[in-house]
Structure formats: C-alpha cells, structure tokens
C-alpha cells in the first residue's frame, strides 16, 4: 500500500499521522518548516515557562485522554489547579469574580439588577426563522439583552476567538448555543431540560471540562508525537502540487532546491486556509477552493511577563481575567499562568500571559515587542495592581492567528464537503473546519484518520479508472 500524504505538521496533522500509524497504515507527513507543532511551542528560560500560543487543552473527549495514554504521557500530564474554576471579568476598571451559582449570580455586581430581571423574559422569546443567520451579538441581545453582550459574551469571545460578536455566526461559532434555542426554544430551559442528555454523552462541555498541560508545557505533546513519527516526517518539504490520477495521488515537493514526486493512496490537508492563495486547483469538475482563502484570521500578540510576587496586588486565584471592549483597555485578557500549573515561574515569582489585537484592535498586535510589553504593563497596573518592571518578557506575534467563523461560514463548510465528495481520497481537517480549540483539533485528527481508514476499506479505493486528472499547486 502506498502511504497517506498528510500536509501540515500542526496538532491535527500529527494526531492524524499517529492514529494512522497505529492502524498500520503507512503515512508521510510533509512539513514546510524545520519543526512540527504549529502554534504549540514552549520556551523555558531562567525558571520561567512561556507558551508561545495556547496554554491549555480542554479535556472534552475520551479521544484526548486516549491519545495521552497511547503516547505514554499520563505521568507527565498536569491538571489545572482547583482555583482555575475562578474567572474574572473587568467592570469599572476592576476584576470581578464571575458567579458560578444562582446565589452568586443574584449577589454579583458584575450585572445590574435590570439585567438580571431581563433574564426572566428569556424563556418567552421566540426563535428567529431559518431564513436569517444571526450574528452572536444579534442572538445574545435578542435573548438576554445588551448588558450581557457587553459584560459576558464580548469578553468571552475575545478570550476564545479574539473576535467580534457582531461578525461571528452563532450557528457556526457557537453551535451548541444555537442548538439550545432550536431544540428547547430557550437557553434557560435548554440548560435545565438538557442536563440529563448532556450527562449521558461521553463528551464534556468546554465550560465544564478540566484543563490540562504537561510538566514542561504543551510542547511535550507535540515533541512526543514527533518522536513516534520520526521516520514518517519530512521536514522543510513544502508541497508544490497535488495531482489525482487513476491510481491515487501524486504529491510534488521542493526540498533543498530539488523537486520530488511521490505517489500516495490519499491526501489529508491539515494546513491553514490562508495558504490557499498559493494554491491552484485544476479540474474539469469545476472544483475551486480559492473561496476558502477568504476565511478571516486576525493578528494576535501573546505577551508573557514574569514578576516578583510582591509586585502583583491581585491574589491571582483563578484561570485569568477577561476584558470587555467597553472598558477601554488595550489587552483582551490575561491568564494567571503560574496559578494554573506548577513550574511556570521561579520561587517567589509569577507568570502572566496577556493577549493583544484580534478583531478588536488588529493594528495593536502588529506593534513592536517593546510597545506590546508597555501596553500590557499599563493595563495590568490598573487591573491587577502590577508595579515595577517585569523580570521576564516574552512577546510573540501570530500575524494570522485564529480562523473566524463569521456569518455565512456555512458556504465554506459546504465547499469543503463538495471538494471531498468530488476529489476522491482528498480530506480536509483542522481548526478552520472542526473547531478552533486544541481539543477540537486533536479530535479532528482522530476522526479524519478513521475517515481515511474507511476510504481504504471501501470496495473501490482511490480514483476510479479513467477519472479526470487535476493538479493542485501548493507552496506551503
């Protein structure tokens, strides 16, 4: 059997390759750079541990625990401290604890009495018709009011997508929220009536899932996957072209100035869609994936700072703090990284990870490193009572960070389905299709490996005899 080509060495591609390897299906993973892991990268310096991108994995599915077990990483896995259940949102320039019970909600000053009373009307609000796709902002304002949009959903969206609720589609960006209204006619009734059904599922909702990492950060996971796939990974091998033939697929790569062509049984594309302007899809079936290049990825800067513990007034007893846009700060939010897991800062010090940019202020993310640090310090001095200069600095820019599931995103999903249906043996998986969290990407890698296995087991695998050939040009 010819191997399966996997394009892209991020967590989706690595998980796909490992799962196929376990099924004794040969794989070849093409990675354009000199390392795998994508946005997952960890730095250790003078006792501080900084994550370049994501900081945690949400334990939402048994497939995540199975991957950790199969890689032999259970002893290195760390679950977040119990205090991680505490979350703060800024109002009036001060971090206020997000209520976690009905009594706490009644007592909190995060929302006004009028906003709390407004919730009583929520079960009586009718859903909108299927002919109108609502933005998240429209949906939330209609169902629970503008104050909850400003002081709950807006900061939440900043923390998850670095996005704009007025642009994100409730149907595609928050499908479970959308489904609650469609099934129960009410978010509140859905939470109550759907509790038993959710409990029966093997998956755990993201708001209740435990957060995990590893003793030396998330790169432990991708490094271990890389070690298991040493012979299967081709580094610094950007793909130039795919060509479907009657026998499968031919993948053309350019490595060290040499062009190489390799036959494969099937192809899994696990790269980001912003690479697609560099691709050309030729087919007499009128297939084109050029519209996928329009998926929006705003820039986000991660700023990891270390401080002496006595220089931070806030107790840092939680996961972190999110910033509503109406509060006027520059940062989107801050994770209390050293409160989540041990070993993230030297003794007597703390680590804070803040984010700047996104759709709220994309130009700020593109600032020089020193400006990013100073912007962050200015906000942290007000919000968390930080004083003095940091003892550690680690700013990183992601010029295209997170795909935005905006209103109308369904057309992109339909196009991906159409390409897979018509281009036999071609599969697409990743955060642009299956959800943006690391847990979503791990599950996507597992699931696409199963799709490939079913494709290979079908009576007629690969391209049919006499099928049209087409070329796809990719400069990864």
d(CA 184, CA 97): 29
Residues 273 and 416 in one domain: yes
Residues 64 and 191 in one domain: no
State the DSSP string of 368-412. -HHHHHHHHHHHHHHHT-B-S--SEEEEEEESS-----BTTTHHH
Q: Residue 244 forms beta bridges with which residues?
A: 249
Residues 76 and 220 sit within 8 Å (Cβ to Cβ):
yes
- For residues 419 and 84, the model is more confident at 419
Q: Which two tokens stand for residue 391?
A: 């003892």
Residue 214 falls within a domain, yes or no? no
* Gyration radius of the chain over CA positions: 23
Write b or e for each residue in 198-228: b if 16 or more Cβ atoms lie within 10 A of its Cβ, otherwise e: eeeeeebebeebebbbbeebbbbbbbbbbeb
Task: Provide the number of structural domains found in the chain.
Answer: 3
- For residues 324 and 256, the model is more confident at 324
Give the pLDDT band of residue 285 (cuts 50, 70, 90).
low
Pairing label, strands 426-428, 266-269: parallel
362-418: pLDDT as tens digits: 999 999 999 999 999 999 999 999 998 999 999 999 999 999 999 999 999 999 999
Q: Which residue carries 């109108």 as its tokens?
A: 132
Residue 432 falls within a domain, yes or no? yes
Give the pLDDT band of residue 201 (cuts 50, 70, 90).
low
354-375: pLDDT as tens digits: 999 999 999 999 999 999 999 9
Pairing label, strands 48-51, 42-45: antiparallel
In the chain, what are the helix, strand and coil shares in percent, each to the nearest 5? 35, 25, 40
Over 60: is that where the pLDDT of 118 sits? yes
d(CA 269, CA 12): 10
Cβ count near 108 (within 10 Å): 16
Write b or e for each residue in 404-440: b if 16 or more Cβ atoms lie within 10 A of its Cβ, otherwise e: bbbbebeebeebbeebbeebbbbbbbbbbbbbbbbbb
Residues 319 and 354 in one domain: yes
Over 60: is that where the pLDDT of 473 sits? no
> Which CATH number characterizes residue 305's domain?
3.90.660.20
The conformational region for residue 271 under phi > 0 = left, psi -120 to 50 = alpha, else beta, is beta
Residues 281 and 289 sit within 8 Å (Cβ to Cβ):
yes
d(CA 282, CA 290): 11
Residues 316 and 392 in one domain: yes
d(CA 8, CA 36): 8
Residue 99 falls within a domain, yes or no? no
Cβ count near 126 (within 10 Å): 9
Model pTM greater than 0.85?
Answer: yes
Residues 135 and 260 in one domain: no
pLDDT at res. 462: 44
Domain membership of residue 416 as a residue range: 4-39+227-295+405-473
Q: Provide the mean pLDDT of the chain.
A: 90
| For helices 62-70 and 438-457, angle between their N-to-C axes, nearest 10 degrees | 80
Residue 218 falls within a domain, yes or no? no
- For the ranges 129-133, 189-193, 462-466, the lowest mean pLDDT is seen at 462-466
Over 80: is that where the pLDDT of 271 sits? yes
pLDDT at res. 194: 72
Beta-carbon contacts of residue 133 (< 8 Å; ≥ 6 apart): 169, 171, 407, 408, 410
Residues 286 and 305 in one domain: no
Q: Which two tokens stand for residue 309?
A: 């513990």
Largest CA distance in the chain: 73
Residue 370 falls within a domain, yes or no? yes
Residue 209 falls within a domain, yes or no? no
Residue 390 falls within a domain, yes or no? yes
Residues 422 and 362 in one domain: no
Residues 194 and 272 in one domain: no
Give the pLDDT band of residue 200 (cuts 50, 70, 90).
low
Beta-carbon contacts of residue 8 (< 8 Å; ≥ 6 apart): 30, 31, 38, 269, 270, 271, 272, 430, 476
Residue 207 falls within a domain, yes or no? no
pLDDT at res. 470: 28
Q: Which residue carries 């939330």 as its tokens?
A: 140
Residues 380 and 306 in one domain: yes
Degrees to nearest 5, angle at CA 209 with 41 and 200:
140
d(CA 190, CA 185): 8
> Which CATH number characterizes residue 282's domain?
3.50.50.60
How confident is the model over 43-72, as a mean pLDDT?
A: 95
């Amino acid at each position: 059997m010819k191997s399966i080509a996997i394009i892209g060495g991020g967590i989706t591609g690595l998980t796909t390759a490992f799962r196929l390897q376990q099924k004794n299906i040969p794989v070849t993973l093409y990675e354009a750079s000199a390392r795998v892991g994508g946005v997952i990268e960890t730095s250790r310096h003078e006792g501080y541990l900084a994550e370049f991108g994501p900081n945690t994995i949400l334990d939402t599915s048994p497939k995540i625990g199975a991957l950790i077990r199969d890689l032999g990483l259970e002893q290195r896995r760390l679950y977040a401290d119990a205090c991680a259940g505490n979350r703060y949102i800024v109002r009036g320039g001060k971090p206020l604890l997000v209520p976690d019970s009905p009594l706490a909600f009644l007592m909190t000053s995060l929302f006004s009495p009028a906003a709390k009373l407004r919730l009583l009307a929520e079960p009586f609000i009718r859903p909108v018709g299927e002919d109108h796709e609502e933005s998240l902002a429209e949906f939330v304002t209609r169902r629970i009011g503008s104050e909850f949009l400003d002081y709950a959903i807006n900061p939440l969206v900043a923390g998850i997508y670095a996005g704009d609720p007025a642009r994100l589609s409730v149907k595609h960006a928050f499908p479970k929220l959308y489904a609650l209204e469609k099934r129960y006619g009410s978010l509140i009734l859905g939470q109550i009536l759907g509790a038993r059904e959710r409990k029966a599922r093997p998956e755990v909702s993201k708001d209740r899932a435990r957060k995990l990492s590893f003793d030396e950060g998330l790169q432990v996971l991708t490094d271990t996957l890389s070690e298991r796939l040493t012979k299967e990974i081709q580094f610094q091998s950007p793909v130039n072209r795919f060509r479907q033939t009657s026998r499968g697929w031919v993948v053309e790569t350019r490595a060290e100035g040499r062009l190489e062509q390799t036959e494969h049984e099937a192809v899994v594309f696990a790269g980001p869609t912003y690479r697609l302007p560099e691709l050309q899809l030729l087919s007499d079936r009128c297939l084109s994936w050029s519209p996928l290049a329009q998926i929006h990825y705003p820039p986000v800067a991660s700023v990891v700072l270390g401080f002496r513990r006595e220089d931070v007034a806030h107790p840092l007893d939680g996961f972190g703090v999110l910033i509503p846009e109406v509060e006027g700060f520059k940062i989107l939010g801050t994770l209390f990284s050293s409160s989540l897991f041990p070993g993230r800062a030297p003794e007597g010090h703390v680590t804070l990870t803040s984010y700047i940019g996104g759709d709220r202020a994309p130009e700020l993310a593109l600032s020089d490193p020193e400006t990013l640090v100073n912007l962050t310090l200015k906000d942290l001095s007000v919000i968390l009572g930080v004083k003095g200069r940091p003892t550690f600095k680690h700013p990183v820019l992601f010029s295209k960070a997170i795909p935005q599931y905006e209103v109308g995103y369904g057309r992109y999903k339909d196009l991906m389905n159409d390409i897979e249906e018509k281009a036999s043996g071609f599969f697409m998986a990743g955060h642009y299709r299956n959800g943006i969290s690391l847990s979503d990407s791990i599950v996507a890698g597992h699931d696409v490996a199963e799709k490939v296995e079913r494709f290979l087991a079908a009576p007629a695998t690969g391209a049919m005899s006499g099928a049209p050939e087409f070329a796809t040009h990719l400069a990864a």
